[in-house]
A = this chain, B = another copy of it.
């Protein structure tokens, strides 16, 4: 890393580098485990869909993008076999977006790999330092997107 004389520049650069390291490692491992076409954005979408399923509009709200953008991303993930659409019997306008078995598999494997990556960081830095980073970021970071009030994503 270059160390500019302005210290503040290091913070966003390192945050980005840390995030990209995790994501790149995740997708390298997912590709090895049979999910080579899963792209960085897709993981967040699969999480946002959740076990209960959702609609394109609500998905857009959860991800902080327009409903049209969410719809197009759902199209791609449907084509890849990770999501499917079903009519809502209670409301003919809505189309329920749900995880397929493949989508669920990708999500579960992501969770496992993220755990392993966190363990790797903990082995280098110490578990307390990793937890401290998480606590600190929880304090200062504003999650104005990916707000998921869906409990038990990976539950039983």
A interface residues with partner B (beta carbon < 8 Å) = 1-2, 4-24, 26, 47, 110-119, 121, 124-125, 129-130, 132-134, 136-155
Verify A11–B118 contact, CB threshold 8 A. Answer: yes
The one of B4, B18, B132, B155 in contact with A137, judged by C-beta atoms closer than 8 angstroms, is: B18
The CA of A141 and the CA of B17, in the complex, are separated in Å by 6
CB neighbours (8 Å) of A136 from chain B are 125, 129-130, 133
The one of B15, B23, B111, B121 in contact with A18, judged by C-beta atoms closer than 8 angstroms, is: B15
The one of B8, B47, B142, B149 in contact with A17, judged by C-beta atoms closer than 8 angstroms, is: B142
Verify B11–A22 contact, CB threshold 8 A. Answer: yes
Verify A111–B154 contact, CB threshold 8 A. Answer: no
14 A–B contacts, CB within 8 A, in A order: A1-B143, A1-B147, A2-B149, A2-B153, A5-B153, A6-B114, A8-B116, A9-B110, A10-B134, A11-B114, A11-B117, A12-B23, A17-B141, A18-B141
CB neighbours (8 Å) of A22 from chain B are 11-12, 15
Given A15-B19, A129-B132, A146-B13, are A139 and B124 neighbors across the interface (CB < 8 Å)?
yes
CB neighbours (8 Å) of A4 from chain B are 111, 153-154
CB neighbours (8 Å) of A125 from chain B are 136, 139-140
CB distance from A105 to the nearest CB of B (A): 15
The one of B21, B134, B154 in contact with A141, judged by C-beta atoms closer than 8 angstroms, is: B21
